[in-house]
Structures are given as C-alpha cells and as structure tokens.
C-alpha cells in the first residue's frame, strides 16, 4: 500500500490575478524510496513540498498518509502531523542560533511529550548517525555548512517520522559535502520515504530511485510511478506503528521548554535584557517608594486637596452617575483620577483620541419648578460662594456631520430601548455636546484657547471643542463624527474656522406620513439636509484646554463640542413651534413610532427632546473656593430635609466624600500616589511591548522552525509570554532591591528636614506583590506581540533572513 497519496491537489495564490501553483496533482509514493522532484523555479516544487509537509494547505483534492485522510484536519491536527509524520531538511539549515546542536535536535521531541532523558539519548544517537557525536555542545554558528545540514538531518530523523522532506538540501553546499548529504539521504531512504526538491539533475539521476518533473503546477513525468497493480499487490501491514498513526497525538510545548527557549534567547542579548529590565524597574521603584512614603505624605495630600478640588462644579442632573452617595443623603460623588503627567498641556498641534467609561446611574432626580426657583435664589443667598450657575437643556438638536466625504447624524444623547422594544427614547445628559456657561471671564480663568486663531464662540452658529490635558478626545467622539480610523491624527487647525456640523430644524428633519407618524430622514437625504437653506452650519471658533494651573484631574466642561446659550434659545424657540412638537403635545402616543407611551416619564422625555417642555434637565454650580463649596452643598442639602428619598434631589460633588471623612482620604492617598508613580510603569510596559515585538521580528525564522516541527500557535505565544514574564521578574526584583537601598538615604534626608524618623519602610509583602505585578504588566504588554507571533505563516517565516 502506498505510504503517501495525493489526489487532484489544487493550490492557488493571489487575490487579483490567480496563480495556479498546483493544478490537479495526483501522485502516490511508496513507504521507502528517494524521490527527487525537478522543475524550473516557480513551477510548484516547493509548494508541493510544503503541502505534503503540512506547512501550507491545499485548496481542494485530498492528501492521505497511510490510513489517515487530512481532508478534515484542523490546525492542531496539522501540528501533530508535522511533528510525528514529517521531518524537514531545509536548504538554509534553519537551526535555532541560541540553542546548542543537541537542543536543536531535541526540539521536536519536546513537543511530543518525550521525557528529558529519552530526548537526550535519542538526540545523541541521531547526531552520532550523521557523524556529529563530538559536536553536540556547540552552537550552530560554530559548525561548517555541511555539519549544520547534518544537524538538520538528525533533527528530521529524531522523532522517527514517516517522511523526510528535503528542500534543496545541497543548494548551499560544495560538491564534496553535497555528496555526503546525498549518501545520508540515500541511506535513510532504505526504510523511509524521502522526497527531495532540487535543481541538481545530476545528483538526482545518481542517487534517487525516482524522478518526478513538474512544470507550471502540473505533473510532467514520473520515472517510477506507483501502478495500481503494484498498490493492490501489497498487503496492508497492521502493526503497532500504523495503529499509533491511526490517530495522531496532539503536540504540546511545556512551560519549561518555552521558558528555556526564551531564557536562552535573552542570554544571547544580555545587555539589551539588562537595560530593558532596568527600564522596567523604574516604575517599580516609583511605586515602591510611594508605598514606603505614603504614611508620611498623607498630611501633605490632605492640605493639597482643598487647593486642588475647590473649583470643581456641583452638578444636578435628572440622573446621577456616581461611585458613592454622600452620608447625609444630599449628594452623590465620584472621584476621577488621571495621573499621567507626560503629554499634558502639550504644544503639539495634534488632536488625540482616548477611551472613556460610562457612569453608573444610581438615582433619578425630579427637577420641579420649585427646585429651579430654589436654585435661582442661590446667587443671592451665597453671593460670596457661588461663581457661576449654568443650566443644561436636554432638547434634541438635529445635528448632521460632514466629515471624510460622508454625512452622518451626530447623536447628542445616550439611548435605551423602551419596554415595547419598538422605539428609542432619549435619556441622560448630552453626550459630547454641552452648553457653555454664560461667563467668558469664568471660562477663560479655567481654560486656555489653543491653536492658531482660536476664540470663544459667541453667536448661535458658533461652537468650540473641549479637549483634555493631552489634547485628547475620546475614541467614541470620533466614531460619532464618522471618523472611525483609530490611527488617524488631526491638527488643531483642521478644525478651527471649519464647519463640519449643521443644525437642521425639526420641520425639515421630520416628515409626517398619512398616519400622522413622523420619521427622521434616511441617510441618503443627509447631504441635501446638511446643505439645505434652512440648516444652520456651526463654525468651530476655537479649542479649549484646561489650564495647567487649574484642576489637575477633571475638567469643568464635558469633552467634545460646546455651544452657546444663543443656540439653545434659537433651537428651543424653533422646536416649540414645529409641526412635530405641536403634534406630540396633542397626542397620547409617540408620534415618532405610533406606539402608546408606557409611562408618563417617557412621554415627558419625548416632549423635552422635541422642545415642548423647555425646563432645564441639569444644573452646574461653580464655587469660588473650597469653603464656598461647603456652603453650596449645605444649601442644597437643606432642600432635601424632610423629603422622601424619591423626592430628594441629589447632586454630584467630587470633593464631598473627601471633605466628609479625612480617614477615607488617608486610605486613598497611597493609591493616588501610586497612580502618579505608575506612569513610568506604564511607559516601561509599553517599551517592553515594543521590545517584545522586536524580538518577534528577530525570531521570525525561529517561529517558522518551531511550527515546522509541530509547534502549535499557542506554543509560539507561550514562548514570548515566557520571555515577558522573565523580563518582568528581573525588572520587579531589581526595582524592589533598589527601592530598599533608596529608603536609607530617604529616611536620613526626611529626618534632617522634618525630624521624622524611619518614614520610608517597604514591607516584604509589598515587595513580593510588586514583583508579581511587574510580571503581570509585562505579560500583558507582550500579549499582542505574542499573538502576532502565533499568527505568522510558517512558510513565510522560514524564508525570513
């Protein structure tokens, strides 16, 4: 029975012009013979070899090895097939440079579960069989070309495969060494199938038992084909070897093997490893010193909190999103932190993207006219405490965007499905779309105008963009504008003076059908509406960025677009008199979908969004100082006295939790400072990710070699994950050791300056956690490069020089 059988194998390449690398190849091979495949370059020889070896996949046809059909093979089956049934001998040897000769030969066995002692014994026997018993501890670069090729042959033989595939095994050798290699292959072919691709017809004629010629992906000739009579005459041999081959054993690389490969690679680049580990340790040192100094710095942080947080606005919205409700029941507070100092207040003329998380809704405020009257009186009652009171309107503005040659609707609210699952009802505050306070002096006391020609908007058709300290805007903001290419960067001047938004009046935007139901326009009409005579183009007059001297954490205005109260007044007046607003006011059903409202609150939301109800949906109160904030919160809390919980109006105040309990602040000091120190840790993590990616690029050929001997994709990932873990361990250990040493001079200096002895002391538990944390961060940093490594095509990887 033929050992290997190919039937109608087809393989094509190319997305545009299709190239038939193999065009219906059908060949049968005997269990033991030396077959040479000849043909000009590009005729499909190597493709055929790669398909037989499982490095490449055929498009159609079938490849059978003994009793095993590969037609339904999965990735793991091909890995096992290469490991147990195939041995590769390459023209360029393809040995792993940082491994010894013995380890190069052992590598295939590490994937098939062979014990360490058995691996060494078999590897030594294989090397002895090719005459290299005295070279086992050398590195490949210490051998001649002929010796390296013999190592490759030993590696191919050591796992006792069914087939040896040799791709131009003599192509890089002189004639004398070529003959030696051919003699070895001829001897192997006495009890194994050896398939060799070569350009050397003379060697093929002299040593092979069979010559196959291929041209343009088709079989041209076969000097010793397997005939049907011959195949049927052979009786099936059922032995233990074939029983084993009935089901290929899955390959698996152990963590020890992966770590060994990674460790030896790092040793081969000692100085780069040391420098990388030291750079990674800088962040660990920072965090360790913060942990050691946190108790001594707590009083300093307590003093800084009033200076840093005094100007934060107190906000009241229909729904509060927060981390914690204040103890007196009067407000809700959330502490935000962004400790990254690098990149803040940059002079770069670039607008960046970043990701932001949504708040969690805890309470619904019912804002009545009584409450608005109460707030209107706050400036009179607390004139020394209140700086500005700003009102938020939730009227829906129909905004269309024209960016990157497309027209999209700019959604200004978060949305949710109602219980009928038929229509989307607006809820929450505006999303990247908020109104400016009516105080230019106040705004410019907190924000800088950045970018050439930047100024505050003043008219109804003028808007501005608010960015954070890094000139960043959230990724979701760009997606709402239709700018979905995350790699794109923009200059500030790309926006200033430009108009990319238009406000569309309700009467133009909504059209009523014969049933009295209104519908927004299809996307195909956006361009016409955008350029409609009644549309109001909004000109971006400037870009606002919080001043470096202002709050160091959270801005006063929402990031995104900000507009004037003049625009709110115009849209509100226009919306109130629109056909859809009047229709909704006189209807008990939703005029946007024809369905009945399931609750009065949802109907109220619809009336608000359409401009029928003009009551503000939110308030921002800006205090003048920290003491003023306390006065404002007392005034707001007084309104809730005696009211049921559902009737109370809660506010969001970042500093309230801090002001209520100093102990809470002291407990969070360590984490805040660690956040600052973690910036260098983050930077070093990114650097390690880059170094790992460089390592992937440098070891591309090694990846191809490992895949050729049966390594799975997950095994390749494991190698690079092990490398990052090793670097993380070294960096963490080094950082903790240096931190312990630094506590000596730090304690001495602090004792001299403030008279406190032993303020810095790093506990062993913190030291261990920092080492583990360093390993975890570097592992995370290496996940993407490791994933990229696992996805590399082994055929392409093996061609890498």
Q: What is the pLDDT of residue 376?
A: 87
Q: What is the pLDDT of residue 10?
A: 92
Q: What is the pLDDT of residue 454?
A: 94
Q: What is the pLDDT of residue 733?
A: 92
Q: What is the pLDDT of residue 659?
A: 52
Q: For residue 236, is pLDDT > 60? A: no
pLDDT-based confidence at residue 433 (cuts at 50, 70, 90) = confident
The more confident residue out of 227 and 715 is 715
Model confidence over 453-497: pLDDT tens digits? 999 999 999 999 999 888 888 888 888 888 777 667 788 888 999
Q: What is the pLDDT of residue 243?
A: 45
pLDDT mean over 581-598: 88
**Residue 94: left (phi > 0), alpha (psi -120 to 50), or beta?**
left
| 258 SS3 class | helix
The answer to whether residue 170 sits within a structural domain is yes
Q: How far is CA 535 from CA 391, 462, 520, 539, 571, in A?
A: 25, 13, 15, 13, 11
| Domain enclosing residue 92, as ranges | 4-250
Q: Give the chain's mean pLDDT.
A: 81
- What is the spatial distance between Cα 168 and Cα 37, in angstroms, rounded to a whole number? 10
Model confidence over 592-630: pLDDT tens digits? 888 888 888 788 888 888 888 888 878 888 887 767 787
Same domain? 192 vs 273? no
Q: Which of 586, 607, 399, 372 is nearest to 501 (CA)?
A: 399
Q: For residue 501, is pLDDT > 60? A: yes
Q: For residue 578, is pLDDT > 80? A: yes
Same domain? 189 vs 324? no
Residues 6+ apart with CB under 8 A from 254: 110
Q: What is the pLDDT of residue 670?
A: 66
Same domain? 598 vs 672? no
Same domain? 197 vs 323? no
**Percentage of the chain modeled with pLDDT above 70:** 84
The more confident residue out of 671 and 325 is 671
Q: What is the pLDDT of residue 195?
A: 92
Model confidence over 237-261: pLDDT tens digits? 444 444 444 556 777 777 787 888 7
Domain termination residue (choose one: 620, 654, 688): 654
The separation between the first and the last C-alpha atoms of the chain, rounded to the nearest angstrom, is 40
| 6 SS3 class | strand
For residues 417 and 342, the answer to whether their CB atoms sit within 8 Å is no
- What is the spatial distance between Cα 738 and Cα 750, in angstroms, rounded to a whole number? 18
Q: What is the pLDDT of residue 334?
A: 37
Model confidence over 706-763: pLDDT tens digits? 888 888 888 888 888 888 899 999 999 999 999 889 888 888 887 788 666 667 778 8
Same domain? 77 vs 132? yes
Q: For residue 43, is pLDDT > 70? A: yes
Q: Which of 38, 41, 51 is nearest to 12 (CA)?
A: 51
Domain termination residue (choose one: 621, 654, 687): 654
Same domain? 578 vs 431? yes
Q: What is the pLDDT of residue 555?
A: 55
Q: Which of 425, 430, 464 is nearest to 447 (CA)?
A: 464
Same domain? 745 vs 599? no
Q: For residue 535, is pLDDT > 90? A: yes
For residues 119 and 109, the answer to whether their CB atoms sit within 8 Å is yes
Q: What is the pLDDT of residue 543?
A: 95
Q: For residue 151, is pLDDT > 70? A: yes
Same domain? 227 vs 266? no
CB atoms within 10 A of CB 129: 17
Count: domains in the chain = 3
The reported pTM is 0.50
Long-range contact set of residues 303-308: C-beta below 8 Å, sequence gap at least 24: 305/655, 305/658, 305/665, 306/626, 307/626, 308/551, 308/552, 308/553
Q: Give the range among 3-12, 338-347, 582-591 with minimum mean pLDDT.
A: 338-347
Same domain? 52 vs 151? yes
Q: What is the pLDDT of residue 482?
A: 80
The answer to whether residue 659 sits within a structural domain is no
The answer to whether residue 306 sits within a structural domain is no
- Locate tokens 């070529």: which residue? 178
Q: What is the pLDDT of residue 327?
A: 36
């Amino acid at each position: 029975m033929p050992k290997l059988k190919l039937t109608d194998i087809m393989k094509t390449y190319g997305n545009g012009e299709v190239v038939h690398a193999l065009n219906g190849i059908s060949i049968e091979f005997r269990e033991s013979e030396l077959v040479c495949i000849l043909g000009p370059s590009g005729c499909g020889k190597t493709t055929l070899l790669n398909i037989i070896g499982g490095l490449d996949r055929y498009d159609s046809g079938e490849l059978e090895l003994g009793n095993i059909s590969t037609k339904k093979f999965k990735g793991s089956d091909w890995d096992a097939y290469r490991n147990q049934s195939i041995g590769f001998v390459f023209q360029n040897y393809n040995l792993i440079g940082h491994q010894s000769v013995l380890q190069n030969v052992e590598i295939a066995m590490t994937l098939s579960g062979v014990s360490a002692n058995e691996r060494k014994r078999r590897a030594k026997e294989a090397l002895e069989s090719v005459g290299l018993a005295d070279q086992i501890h050398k590195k490949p670069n210490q051998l001649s070309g002929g010796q390296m090729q013999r190592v490759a042959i030993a590696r191919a033989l050591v796992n006792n495969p069914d087939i040896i595939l040799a791709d131009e095994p003599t192509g890089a050798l002189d004639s004398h060494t070529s003959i030696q290699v051919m003699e070895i292959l001829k001897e192997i072919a006495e009890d194994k199938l050896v398939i060799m691709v070569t350009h050397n017809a003379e060697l093929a004629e002299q040593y092979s038992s069979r010559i196959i010629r291929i041209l343009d992906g088709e079989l041209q000739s076969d000097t010793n084909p397997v005939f049907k009579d011959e195949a049927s005459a052979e009786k099936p041999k059922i032995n233990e070897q074939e029983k084993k081959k009935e089901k290929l054993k899955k390959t698996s690389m152990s963590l020890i093997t992966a770590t060994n490969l990674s460790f030896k690679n790092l040793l081969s680049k000692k100085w780069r490893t040391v420098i990388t580990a030291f750079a990674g340790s800088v962040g660990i040192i920072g965090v360790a010193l913060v942990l050691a100094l946190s108790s001594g710095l707590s009083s300093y942080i307590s003093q800084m909190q009033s200076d840093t947080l005094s100007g934060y606005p107190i906000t009241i919205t229909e729904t509060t999103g927060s981390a914690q409700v204040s103890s007196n029941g009067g407000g809700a507070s959330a502490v935000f932190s962004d400790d990254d100092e690098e990149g803040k207040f940059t002079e770069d003329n670039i607008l960046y993207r970043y990701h932001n998380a949504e708040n969690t809704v805890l309470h619904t405020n019912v804002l009545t006219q009584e409450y608005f009257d109460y707030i209107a009186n706050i400036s009179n009652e607390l004139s020394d405490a209140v700086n500005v009171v700003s009102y938020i309107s939730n009227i829906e503005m129909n905004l269309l965007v024209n960016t990157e040659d497309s027209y999209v609707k700019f959604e200004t609210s978060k949305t949710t499905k109602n219980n009928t699952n038929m229509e989307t009802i607006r809820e929450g505050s505006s999303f990247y779309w908020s109104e400016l306070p009516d105080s230019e002096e106040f705004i410019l006391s907190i924000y800088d105008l950045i970018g050439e020609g930047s100024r505050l908007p003043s008219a109804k058709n003028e808007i501005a963009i608010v960015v954070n300290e890094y000139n960043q805007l959230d990724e979701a903001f760009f997606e709402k504008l239709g700018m979905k290419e995350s790699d794109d960067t923009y200059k500030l001047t790309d926006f200033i003076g430009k108009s990319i938004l238009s406000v569309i009046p309700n009467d133009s935007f909504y059209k009523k059908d014969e049933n009295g139901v209104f519908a927004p326009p299809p996307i195909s009409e956006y361009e016409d509406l955008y350029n409609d005579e009644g549309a109001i183009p909004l000109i971006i007059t400037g870009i606002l960025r919080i001043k470096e001297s202002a709050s160091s954490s959270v801005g006063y205005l929402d990031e995104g677009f900000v507009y004037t109260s003049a625009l709110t007044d115009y849209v509100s007046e226009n919306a109130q008199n629109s056909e859809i607003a009047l229709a909704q006011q006189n209807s008990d059903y939703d005029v946007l979908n024809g369905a009945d409202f399931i609750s009065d609150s949802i109907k109220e939301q619809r009336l608000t969004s359409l401009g029928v109800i003009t009551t503000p949906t939110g308030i921002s109160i800006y205090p003048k100082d920290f003491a003023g904030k306390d006065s404002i919160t007392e005034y707001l809390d007084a309104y809730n006295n005696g009211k049921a919980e559902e009737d109370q109006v809660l506010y969001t105040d970042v500093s309230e939790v801090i002001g209520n309990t100093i102990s809470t602040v002291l407990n969070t000091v360590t984490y805040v400072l660690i956040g600052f120190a973690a910036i260098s840790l983050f930077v070093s993590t990114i650097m390690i990710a880059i170094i790992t990616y460089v390592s992937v690029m440098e070891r591309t050929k090694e990846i191809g070699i490992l895949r050729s001997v049966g390594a799975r994709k997950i095994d390749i990932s494991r190698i690079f994950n092990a490398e990052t873990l090793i670097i993380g361990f070294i960096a963490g250990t080094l950082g903790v050791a240096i931190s312990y040493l630094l506590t000596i001079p730090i304690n001495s200096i602090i004792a001299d300056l403030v008279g406190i002895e032993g303020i810095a002391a790093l506990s062993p538990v913190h030291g261990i956690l920092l080492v583990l944390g360093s390993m975890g961060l570097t592992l995370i940093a290496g996940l993407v490069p490791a994933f990229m490594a696992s996805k590399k095509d082994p055929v392409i990887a093996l061609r890498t020089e």
